[in-house]
Amino acid sequence: MLVLRRRAGEAILLGPDIEIEVVEISKSRVKLGVRAPRTISVTRRETSAIAAENKQAPALAVAGSGLENIVRLLRNTPSLL
């Protein structure tokens, strides 16, 4: 892994058109700004696991009668509202 030391206000370039700037450094966090073409997806690494989960989600809506069962179970749930 390439490791670079940067100060607030400094940046690195990935290829010709992606720039990552260190906007602010606090005690436990670094705030980064990313300039990239709109076609480039910029996400936190943790969201890749969420993306994998999400891809399963639409299958539930087509479950049909399975959803009726879920609704019945939910109506058995003690109300938290």
Which spans of this chain sit near other proteins (rule: CB under 8 A)? 41, 43-44, 46-48, 50-63, 66-71, 73-78, 80-81
Backbone phi and psi for residue 31, each to the nearest 5 degrees, phi listed first: -95, 125
CA distance 22 to 37: 18
20 secondary structure, DSSP code: E
Smallest distance, other proteins to C-beta of residue 12, A: 20
CB nearer to other proteins: give 1 or 79. Answer: 79
Smallest distance, other proteins to C-beta of residue 8, A: 17
